Structure 1
Amino acid sequence: MKGCESSSLLDDFLIREIRLTHDPDGRQLDSELLLRLIENVFCSTLSDVSDAQSDANNVRSIDMIGSEEPLGRTIYKISHEILHRCFEKGNFHAKTMVLLEMVSHFRWDAKVVLVLAAFITSYGIFWLIQQLKFDNVLALSLAILKRLPRDITMFDPKFKALTSLINSLVKVTKLVVMMVSLPVSHDHKAMAITNSKIYMATYWIIRSILECTSQITDLRSMRHQQVCLNAKIVAAWALYSLGNKLNSLCPDLEEQIDTSLQAKLVTIFKDKHTDNQEVLHTLFSWKIELPFKNHSSQKKIDIFELKNKIVILLISKPELLPLDKLLFLVQQTYDHPKHKQIEENYAILWVPIPSANEWSLDEKRTFEFYSSSLPWFSVRQPWALNSAVVNFIKEEWNFKEEALMVVLDENGMVTNSNAMDMVWIWGAKAFPFSISREKELWEQEKWSLELIINEISPLLTNGVEEGQNLCIYGSENIEWIREFTAKMKKIKNAGIRLQLVYVGCRNSTKQTMQNILDIINQEQLSTSLTSEKIHFFWFRLESIKRSVAHEKNTDKIAKEVAEFLDFGENKEGWAVLGRGSSTDLMKLSGENVAELFLGAIEETLKTSLPSEPGNHTDLVPYEEGLIERSVICGVCKRPMKKFVVYKCDVAAE
């Protein structure tokens, strides 16, 4: 117990000493971008592929606001000071405090990033010389001048430990940068705890950098016989020890970040913003730089790419959606006729979230496949999303396994907590996908074939737009279908322009549906939707039912769509007749649908009758039962009067 108290007391003294070195004067630095370049340099020393070139071009434009000297000079001065201190005698604590004094005028995030940049500059030059010295005379000459050993393979244990320590350095530096950007808490006690953790992390980052540099400079004076003894073991142990110290700081820092981030997420959607950048940064860019990727080029994308756009967060499981619904979603967005008109104004961002806390290998593979195949942006490393963000999505936006579309406007505010049904119903026409837009669309809609069909099929859409008489029908009884289509063909032959389309039944099995479609197509009974389109047809009607359930003044549509869905359950046979945007729809079901249509069609077509009857005669061959039926005139669309004509078929002699 006394040991713990003594350790705590020493930490308190150290924190006070560190705090006394802090004297900020308003200088500002883009720490995140500079840290990104540092990572690229480090990755390049490991021969990893990186985006160093593109980031280097961005960093050239960075400078420190409020500083009299350029960024490069500041980094050079810190690098020189680090090297100078490494050749001096004295303990590392004293040297660390000297460096803290040197960067006293910067914010805490800038302190650690600048010192790390100064170190990584020397480290990068060291490895550049090592990689080129056998092929480049200049590199070989520099290696000799710097008194670097010709063969460094004997130092492999040290470099392995050094690599591990630098990984830890970068990780903790990222956490410090994230913590500094946290919102200021009004809880003074909580803020004091946060600051203390930042102070300690900064101290150990700088102290570890001094130790790393010292180990590298020791290579210049270390002889082969020394290496063969205990030197490399002791050196590696010291580096691993510092790495463990840094790693031990991470859990507390991450917990503090999660707590603060959760508090920020609750308030950020209540505050007003000038754009969507802060919201997107809070959600996606805390742990990952360039957090998104483009589906086609797989290029890493910054949140800036989505500035001034409406962003639809497509939140789902890594498996996203069943294939048929996935294809329908693509059709309703990127393949929609309206998409070209609005594609510059909005973007869909896929945010996959697994059921468990950890991502499985299969889930990662599934994500990589879909994110490379589908036409929208996606979170580049969804498994790295902050747990506070994932919890917020589940709790605040009610994500429960079913895919949803949360819409953020250009300012990052939520305008619709789930626009999925809007997209199923209207596709890109629903832009900007807000709740107010949904109300506006329903105010414009009426129950008609146009609403029922929408953009499901060009075949149906063209017929509706042209005002054709359209009959959609369904059944699982192939004999009923044969009889119904045969009688409807006779109606068409009587002069009535009518398009007959099979759309199946609601909840039919895939196999049953496909068997019927095969027979319809082989026997040319009528035109039909594909099995995929049939599924879309009924799925979209279910979306309409859900959407109108919470809208005012849509009682008629709600009633009609509910009846239509029930109607479509009739597996024996049903049909609906209408024209274009007319609200007069005729729904019939059962065995006598075709006969009932004969009488009802007259009423349906009345609105298009000419003012005067036509003077037209049709000679129709006798057929049993024809006398009792009505025949419609092909010109004026009125019922024709019946006359009997007798013809002698006996040839004259």
Structure 2
Amino acid sequence: MQNDILIKKLLLTHDPDGRRLDSETMLLAVGNIMFHASSIIVASNLYSASFQKNDITEIETLGCSEPVGFVITKIGKILCKCYGEGDINSRITSVFDLIGEYSWDAKVVLVLAAFAVRYGEFWQLMQLYRGNTLAALISSIKLLPCNLKPLKLQIKALSLLVKIMMDVAMYIIKFENLPLQHVELGNDVLIVTKSQIYEAAYWITRSCLACFSQVTDFTTKKHEQVYSDSTIIAAWELSSLAYRLSNICSNLRRQVDQCHQEIEKNLYEKLLNLAREEHIDNQKILTLFFSSKNYLPLKDCSTEVKVGVSELKNNIVLLLISKPQLLNPVEIFLLFQQTRDHPLNERLRESYKIVWIPLPSSDTWTEAEESSFNFLSDSLPWHAVRKPMLLTTAVVKYIREQWNYKDEPIMVALDSKGKITNYNALDMIKIWGAKAYPFSSSKEKELWQDQNLTMQLLLGDINPLLAYWVEQGKNICLYGSENLVWIQQFNDKITELKRAGLQMETIYVGNRQIGEHVKQIIARSGEINLSDPLSFSSVQFFWLRLESMRRSKLRLGKTPSSDYVLAELSALLDMDDGEEGWTVIGRGGSTDVIRLQGMQQVMEFLRENIVNLRFSCAPRNFQLDPDFVVGSCTHSYFVPSRENERLSQGTVICQECKRPMKKFVVYQP
């Protein structure tokens, strides 16, 4: 009955005004202090590994009228009064009056922080005084005990109580982070859980008051008191509080787990229903998707500015879902180039947003995954979930089951009304970049509908110089091999043909399995006379785009037997160098693209087309004519003067050897 009256008094002080505190990070900071403080005691193993973190970032606040540190100091002043001085409950009420505007999780964490400061200061002096002159002087002024062994029982009880208080606080934070504002929870379970949280907040504050008093008592005990029964009595008092809080913790854990399960179930059902409904904008679905109490769940990675889902209103949203490692660096750079560097993006920049949602491989985050996320989220040019660890289980389950996420990166496109228009727009963006806007499945089909195999398709915008050559309609020859002898011979012969009038740009692209050998060949481009070498990253871009093209075609239900472009892409991707290299020759947007294998095919084809590459009469997969004449040919063909005028601008192919014929002028008297 008395407890009920006390709880009601605390509820009268509770008047939240919307201010927010990052309670979880604050509790981790408190845990760090406790862990380090207890490192010289045998009870250090009482501390959970979850508190043993060294990477605590800035503790966020919102709407606080005064610095949180100032509030913690005020709480400390109330707690530091002698334990028997005045009525305990009156002092507890004073503490809750001071923090009435905060949520329940923030209240308990602020109280714990006030005690942690005092507790940490005490142990810091105890650890330093033997080897630090300043610490020794302060210890002597404060009359700190030199020998802690007689206080071992009391310190162990204190450490246990602190650990249990933090465990209870964690469950309060877990409850407060539930998206209760978006998903309904049964009244019965909600009422019971809240009443237990009120009780837990009271006993955490009362326990902190006792702990504060006993730490202060360490500095005032006389020698004879240290060895008296007072130490045992003090340890018993702390153990009693620990026992009571342990029972509260067990009950609260059951209640919070029950709430969590019910919320997750309801949230999953609500996500399913929202996906089937029509909306006026994307805010409802996105708010539910990032439905924790995190008031600014996203951040602009390039500026480090925290943003809410309202930032995405009226935009097409691309949700990039991957492991915390995201993609390999080359794929990231390609995606960056296709979404940021293209001139078209200047016009579309405010029309769509990319949001990175990293998901761990298992149910829990590893340190390596957290480290990878923290590094990449500070480096990317897009938006990202600020605290992906807070994503609800229902959202993760929805992504895996409804969007078929299997740990391979996907990019789900939502239109401005929140409707899913493409379950994976990643490949089409790699292929076409901003030209794929608005990134829907129908747009992907439209882009492929009239798309033939051209140099423009193969090269895209992976390199500004290549884009210029394609635009100018230049003849382009892509070639690949890992055979240095073949590459050298190929370049030597191309140089000879260029002297003879061949107008063609040649580009080395290695092969699909880009290894260290290809990298070395590109690095030695000057030595081996590569005519127009690409950078290693551009070569990687080239093959990544080809792979994306094949996946995109296959996803649309195409097969190599029914789709010529897919067949050629597959043949190119599966090309085996062997001892011979290969080439692909074409011009700009022309559909006459020829794939050749081996030196003989390449050279004979180029000799035939040395004056003016005309592909319209040539087969796309060039094969030598079985009647091809080897060696020199003596066949001649006389053209009358009138016909000679008509053919003077073209090339005459010999009917015997199938090669271009040399022109001579014969004068008849």
TM (norm. structure 1) is 0.68
Which residue number corresponds to residue 237 of structure 2? 235
Which residue number corresponds to residue 59 of structure 1? 64
Are residue 263 (structure 1) and residue 270 (structure 2) matched? no
Which residue number corresponds to residue 173 of structure 2? 174
Instruction: Summarize deviations over 1:42-82 as a string: whole Å, max 9, x none.
Output: 58987999777x845742299xxxxxxxxx99xx99x9999
- Give the alignment's Cα RMSD to 1 decimal: 5.9
CA pair 163-626 structure 1, distance change in 2 beyond 3 A: farther
Which residue number corresponds to residue 256 of structure 2? 253
Task: Give the conservation status (yes or no) of the 8 Å contact 1:116–1:209.
Answer: no
Using the TM superposition, give the Cα deviation of residue 151 of structure 1 relative to its aligned residue in structure 2, in angstroms. 7.4
Spell out the pairing of 1:104-143 with structure 2 (5 A cutoff): 110=103, 113=106, 119=111
Alignment partners' CA distance in 1, 2:189 and 2:421? 37
Bigger mean CA deviation after superposition, 80-89 or 250-259: 80-89
Task: Give the conservation status (yes or no) of the 8 Å contact 1:176–1:202.
Answer: no
In the alignment, structure 1 segments of 5+ residues that lack a partner are 1-12, 63-71, 133-143, 608-622, 647-653
Report SS of the residue matched to 2:321.
strand
Report SS of the residue matched to 2:236.
helix
Alignment partners' CA distance in 1, 2:306 and 2:591? 49
Alignment partners' CA distance in 2, 1:626 and 1:521? 40
Report SS of the residue matched to 1:200.
helix
Instruction: Summarize deviations over 1:330-354 as a string: whole Å, max 9, x none.
Output: 4434555555555566554444434
Which residue number corresponds to residue 605 of structure 2? 596
Alignment partners' CA distance in 2, 1:597 and 1:367? 51
Which residue number corresponds to residue 568 of structure 2? 564
Spell out the pairing of 1:9-408 with structure 2 (5 A cutoff): 29-30=17-18, 32-33=20-21, 35=23, 55=60, 58-60=63-65, 110=103, 113=106, 119=111, 157=156, 160-161=159-160, 163-179=162-178, 181=180, 183-185=182-184, 190-216=186-212, 224=222, 229-248=231-250, 249-250=252-253, 252-268=255-271, 269-270=274-275, 272=279, 276=283, 279=286, 282-283=289-290, 285=292, 302-304=306-308, 307-308=311-312, 311-338=317-344, 347-367=353-373, 370-371=376-377, 375-376=381-382, 378-379=384-385, 382=388, 385-408=391-414
Instruction: Summarize deviations over 1:224-282 as a string: whole Å, max 9, x none.
Output: 56665213312331343344334422354145324413431442352647554873674
Report SS of the residue matched to 2:605.
helix
Instruction: Summarize deviations over 1:441-474 as a string: whole Å, max 9, x none.
Output: 4467554211111012233222102221222234
Using the TM superposition, give the Cα deviation of residue 395 of structure 1 relative to its aligned residue in structure 2, in angstroms. 1.9
Using the TM superposition, give the Cα deviation of residue 171 of structure 1 relative to its aligned residue in structure 2, in angstroms. 1.4
Using the TM superposition, give the Cα deviation of residue 361 of structure 1 relative to its aligned residue in structure 2, in angstroms. 4.8
Instruction: Summarize deviations over 1:192-236 as a string: whole Å, max 9, x none.
Output: 234323332332232332343355457788855666521331233
Query: Which residue type is aligned with residue 589 of structure 2?
Result: S
Task: Give the conservation status (yes or no) of the 8 Å contact 1:276–1:410.
Answer: no
The structure 2 residue matched to 1:581, chosen from 575, 583, 589, is 589
Instruction: Summarize deviations over 1:466-522 as a string: whole Å, max 9, x none.
Output: 2212222345666665665555445433434221223344x4563664576578753
Alignment partners' CA distance in 1, 2:280 and 2:567? 45
Using the TM superposition, give the Cα deviation of residue 380 of structure 1 relative to its aligned residue in structure 2, in angstroms. 5.5
Identity of aligned residues (%): 26
Alignment partners' CA distance in 2, 1:364 and 1:264? 26
Using the TM superposition, give the Cα deviation of residue 547 of structure 1 relative to its aligned residue in structure 2, in angstroms. 1.8
Using the TM superposition, give the Cα deviation of residue 425 of structure 1 relative to its aligned residue in structure 2, in angstroms. 0.7
Alignment partners' CA distance in 1, 2:488 and 2:382? 44
Instruction: Summarize deviations over 1:372-395 as a string: whole Å, max 9, x none.
Output: 555555555655654444333322
Query: Which residue type is aligned with residue 213 of structure 1?
Result: L
Are residue 499 (structure 1) and residue 505 (structure 2) matched? yes
Alignment partners' CA distance in 2, 1:285 and 1:22? 26
Instruction: Summarize deviations over 1:514-539 as a string: whole Å, max 9, x none.
Output: 57657875342533435543343233
Alignment partners' CA distance in 2, 1:429 and 1:86? 74
Using the TM superposition, give the Cα deviation of residue 366 of structure 1 relative to its aligned residue in structure 2, in angstroms. 4.7
* Count of aligned residue pairs for this structure pair: 587
Which residue number corresponds to residue 5 of structure 1? none
CA pair 27-578 structure 1, distance change in 2 beyond 3 A: same
CA pair 636-124 structure 1, distance change in 2 beyond 3 A: farther
Using the TM superposition, give the Cα deviation of residue 16 of structure 1 relative to its aligned residue in structure 2, in angstroms. 11
CA pair 322-369 structure 1, distance change in 2 beyond 3 A: same
Task: Give the conservation status (yes or no) of the 8 Å contact 1:182–1:260.
Answer: no
Task: Give the conservation status (yes or no) of the 8 Å contact 1:348–1:376.
Answer: yes
In the alignment, structure 2 segments of 5+ residues that lack a partner are 37-53, 126-140, 617-630, 639-643, 653-660
Report SS of the residue matched to 1:594.
helix
Task: Give the conservation status (yes or no) of the 8 Å contact 2:501–2:611.
Answer: no
Report SS of the residue matched to 1:175.
helix
CA pair 357-628 structure 1, distance change in 2 beyond 3 A: farther
Alignment partners' CA distance in 2, 1:36 and 1:362? 20
Alignment partners' CA distance in 2, 1:33 and 1:412? 30
Using the TM superposition, give the Cα deviation of residue 27 of structure 1 relative to its aligned residue in structure 2, in angstroms. 6.9
CA pair 366-180 structure 1, distance change in 2 beyond 3 A: closer
Using the TM superposition, give the Cα deviation of residue 15 of structure 1 relative to its aligned residue in structure 2, in angstroms. 12
Spell out the pairing of 1:610-625 with structure 2 (5 A cutoff): 625=633
Query: Which residue type is aligned with residue 242 of structure 2?
Result: Y
CA pair 516-122 structure 1, distance change in 2 beyond 3 A: closer
Using the TM superposition, give the Cα deviation of residue 30 of structure 1 relative to its aligned residue in structure 2, in angstroms. 2.5
Report SS of the residue matched to 2:468.
helix
Spell out the pairing of 1:632-643 with structure 2 (5 A cutoff): 638-639=650-651, 643=663
Alignment partners' CA distance in 1, 2:634 and 2:343? 47
Report SS of the residue matched to 1:522.
coil
Report SS of the residue matched to 1:584.
coil
CA pair 422-122 structure 1, distance change in 2 beyond 3 A: same
CA pair 498-334 structure 1, distance change in 2 beyond 3 A: same
Report SS of the residue matched to 2:263.
helix
Report SS of the residue matched to 1:399.
coil
Task: Give the conservation status (yes or no) of the 8 Å contact 2:491–2:529.
Answer: no
Query: Which residue type is aligned with residue 311 of structure 2?
Result: K
Task: Give the conservation status (yes or no) of the 8 Å contact 2:502–2:611.
Answer: no
Task: Give the conservation status (yes or no) of the 8 Å contact 1:258–1:386.
Answer: no
CA pair 150-20 structure 1, distance change in 2 beyond 3 A: closer
Task: Give the conservation status (yes or no) of the 8 Å contact 1:307–1:410.
Answer: no
Task: Give the conservation status (yes or no) of the 8 Å contact 1:321–1:403.
Answer: yes
Using the TM superposition, give the Cα deviation of residue 645 of structure 1 relative to its aligned residue in structure 2, in angstroms. 7.1
Report SS of the residue matched to 1:402.
coil
CA pair 21-592 structure 1, distance change in 2 beyond 3 A: same
